[in-house]
Amino acid sequence: MECAARGFGTRCVGPPARRCGQCGAVAYCSVSHQTSHWRYHKEECERLEEQMRRVDLLNDFPFTFTEEATVQVSQKQQSRCSFLSRRDLHHVGMWMYECNCGASAQNSAYDSFKNEGWNLPSSSCPCRGPISPVLSQLCSWTDYYEWRKIPLDSPVALLLHWTLTIYHAIQAVGMENLTPQISNELRIHYLGPQKELGQLGVFAELHSLFPGLRIRVELVGPDVPQHMDGEMISLCGYSPCMEKECECKYSSKILIPGNESARSSAVSLQLHRGFYHDRYSDIAKNSPPPHIVIAPNAGIAAYPSWLPTIELIKEIKVRAVFSDYCEEACHLAACCIKTITGQSLSLPIKLNPFRQPMAVEESPLFIPCYSNCFIFAI
């Protein structure tokens, strides 16, 4: 947490111990900073006050570890590191990118896609296909865990929120609206991947969520390492559990772009370095247009590079779903989108039931933030 007036004028004089008396969502280092910042804060204060009333809803998860991962992390009684350490997952495989001290790994180039597993018992992770197909729409983590026969003490939702958010985004805009365009392949353009680049194995779960379809995902963003630009990855199986005797096998492997076996696999991923508006024409040369664009934790209001991307999305007339860490970030994004396109959101801001069930550390607000917390669409 930092002073809400930091960077607006004079230097902060101490920790932000003085919270706004009306909304309670922001804090200041001094009375003078709170007074000088009011002309900016007054436009958001009532809105933030309303969002603070929904804190309990944000923290509502069905897991046995919910209190530890939400309230205790938000109040700094626990940390992501301590949560993972207690489960022997700290700095292990795909879990490496889930804490601040593991973030340094993000800054170094990924060597290549690795066959990382869950590092969990088979009973606690989706290392094999489901016992039965999805018979009705999944609407919560409880639905998903019951379907996949996973106990509610399993932390796999911390990684699976990427794929379940894709599933929820497609359901939210109306799978029936996309179905006429889909024959046997679902094409997704996925914008701005970051830590997902070290967790690509979780995307294999799309095969379970969309049975009978080949899934082709183009991951496009500036964080894709240069040496992985254009790399094709075929996920032919699920991420394995830690048990040697389990029947699960992980057969994903790296395939060069254009390899036909990659195109015919259950889930294929292709990586593209750069911004979507710069790379779209290259992608379009080798693949038909996407059925949907998905941008997790987009931060539209924070990055000017979104302006030409949103203009492109409007031009190619494709549904696009965005997510962000908090409702306020989504509100600011909606304002930017309306300025750029002249249109309101086609899907209003909604809480994502498949948001990551662990609070973001060092949030700029007292409102708890979660990865993929809210979604909206144009």
Per-residue pLDDT of 7-25, as tens digits, reads 887 889 888 889 999 999 9
- 129 and 198 share one domain: yes
Per-residue pLDDT at 208 exceeds 60: yes
Position 107 scores a pLDDT of 45
Mean pLDDT of all residues belonging to the chain? 90
Position 233 scores a pLDDT of 93
- 24 and 86 share one domain: no
Residue type for position 304: P
Position 115 scores a pLDDT of 64
Question: Tell me: the pLDDT tens digits for 15-53?
Answer: 888 999 999 999 999 999 999 999 999 989 999 999 999
Sign of CA dihedral 26, 29, 31, 35: negative
- 49 and 68 share one domain: no
Position 212 scores a pLDDT of 85
- Per-residue confidence band for 103, with pLDDT thresholds at 50, 70 and 90: low
- 260 and 202 share one domain: yes
**Are 23 and 48 in contact, with CB atoms under 8 Å apart?**
yes
Position 364 scores a pLDDT of 79
Sign of CA dihedral 64, 69, 75, 76: positive
Q: Of residues 207 and 102, which shows the higher confidence score?
A: 207
Q: How far apart are CA 97 and CA 106, in angstroms?
A: 7
Question: Tell me: the pLDDT tens digits for 278-297?
Answer: 999 999 998 999 999 999 99
**What is the residue range of 3's domain?**
1-54
Q: Stretch 304-319: mean pLDDT, rounded?
A: 96
Position 257 scores a pLDDT of 41
Per-residue pLDDT at 211 exceeds 50: yes
Per-residue pLDDT at 108 exceeds 60: no
- DSSP per residue, 255-283: E-TT-HHHHTSSEEEEEEES-HHHHHHHH
- 203 and 318 share one domain: yes
201 domain residue, yes or no: yes
- 369 and 301 share one domain: yes
- 257 and 122 share one domain: yes
Question: Tell me: the pLDDT tens digits for 240-258?
Answer: 999 988 988 544 343 434 4
70 domain residue, yes or no: yes
Q: How far apart are CA 255 and CA 262, in angstroms?
A: 7
Per-residue pLDDT at 261 exceeds 50: no
In angstroms, the first-to-last Cα distance of the chain is 32
- 80 and 16 share one domain: no
Burial class (CB in 10 A: 0-12, 13-18, 19+), 359: buried
Q: How far apart are CA 315 and CA 364, in angstroms?
A: 34
- Per-residue confidence band for 265, with pLDDT thresholds at 50, 70 and 90: low
9 domain residue, yes or no: yes
Position 245 scores a pLDDT of 87
Residue type for position 101: C
- 14 and 157 share one domain: no
Position 8 scores a pLDDT of 82
105 domain residue, yes or no: no
106 domain residue, yes or no: no
Helix (H) or strand (E) holding 62: none
- 18 and 39 share one domain: yes
Q: How far apart are CA 261 and CA 235, in angstroms?
A: 11
Q: Of residues 362 and 131, which shows the higher confidence score?
A: 131
- 25 and 64 share one domain: no
Q: How far apart are CA 71 and CA 310, in angstroms?
A: 35
Q: pTM of this prediction?
A: 0.91
104 domain residue, yes or no: no
Per-residue pLDDT at 356 exceeds 70: yes
119 domain residue, yes or no: yes
Tally of structural domains, the chain: 2
Per-residue pLDDT at 259 exceeds 70: no
- Strand, helix or coil for residue 221: strand
Position 311 scores a pLDDT of 97
Position 327 scores a pLDDT of 95
CA dihedral 163, 164, 168, 171 (to 10 degrees): 70
Question: Tell me: the pLDDT tens digits for 110-156?
Answer: 666 776 899 999 999 999 999 998 888 999 999 999 999 999 999 99
- 19 and 124 share one domain: no
Per-residue pLDDT at 263 exceeds 90: no
